[in-house]
Amino acid sequence: MEDDAEIKFLRRPVDTLRLGLGAAREVGSSTTKHPVEVMQEEHQSGREYRRKLEAMAFTHGAAIPAKLDIERQILSNVERLPGLVPSKRLGLSIVTGEIDRFGYEDYLGHESMREEAPRLDTHTLMEAKLKLGANVGRF
């Protein structure tokens, strides 16, 4: 591996009582990605999904992969109103096979559990999304 492709470890003690938990994250942060994380991103990019569609086209004809691709495009455009609960896009994860993957984010470090996440109501977020009111540019 290259010299910069190493996982950093804690080089100095961190006073979490004074600096908070974020300070420990900054001291021990890694600059490169773990090989497993790279493999997961490649899977998410769609290579495996495209191979699956090609195999279906070879076995069952071109209609089934075309139908699945259209369903994927439709389901990728469906979103929930902005608010406290992010859109899970369950239908899209079922069509692409993402639902079978179980990663660390499923049980650790979920975004809704973070303390530093802003807690805003739906009306404020919709005003910011549609660029209405006094909250324009804040988010």
pLDDT exceeds 60 at position 34:
yes
Arithmetic mean of pLDDT, 21-35:
64
Rg from Cα positions in the chain: 21
Those residues whose C-beta lies under 8 Å from the C-beta of residue 56, and which sit 6 or more positions away, are 64, 65, 68
Say how many Å lie between the first and final Cα of the chain, rounded: 39
The DSSP output letter for 108 is S
- Domains of the chain, by residue range, sit at 1-32, 34-109
CB 15 within 8 A of CB 22: no
For residue 31, CA distances in Å to 5, 42, 103, 108 come to: 8, 19, 20, 20
Over the stretch 107-134, which tens digit does the pLDDT of each residue have?
Answer: 776 666 666 656 667 777 788 888 887 6
pTM flag (> 0.75) = no
